[in-house]
Amino acid sequence: MTEEGMSQAHTLVEWSALGIEILAIALIVTAIAASTSIYLYGLLTDRRYGAQHYESYKRRLGRALLLCLEIMVAADIVRTVALDSTLASVVALGLLVIVRTFLSWSLILEIEGRWPWQRRSEPLQTLSATSQTSKG
């Protein structure tokens, strides 16, 4: 491949990674706007279920953030593998993936009340529930 061809490929990959990141940002903004609108509409039309509306709002936002974290990891992978595959950049990518994985696990815990490796039928036990069981 010629020098000009390499430069064009580099530019294409860079723009692709940027496009993926812009998609993630647009999804976050859209999810926040849509979820907030749905939440406020629910509060205004049915005030009896405020806590239920809040939990739905939190789940919607959390799921959108999880999706966007995955998309942003994809952008980082594209950029690192295609453009800068030095040891330092791969290590930095690995650290980014670890941080984003921890964030994903935290979001799943917040949204669903369980760790990702737990089955859906076994909810996370809180300290108070565990201490009550051991007392009684």
Please write the tens of the pLDDT for every residue from 6-45: 888 888 888 998 999 999 999 999 999 999 999 999 888 8
The pTM (predicted TM-score) of the whole model is: 0.69
Establish if 130 belongs to a structural domain. no
Establish if 134 belongs to a structural domain. no
Establish if 109 belongs to a structural domain. yes
Task: Provide the number of structural domains found in the chain.
Answer: 1
Q: What is the dihedral of CA 66, 69, 74, 79, to 10 degrees?
A: 180
Encoded tokens for 96: 């980014």
* 52-94 residue pLDDT tens: 888 889 889 988 988 888 898 888 888 888 877 788 888 888 8
Print the domain residue range for 79: 3-121
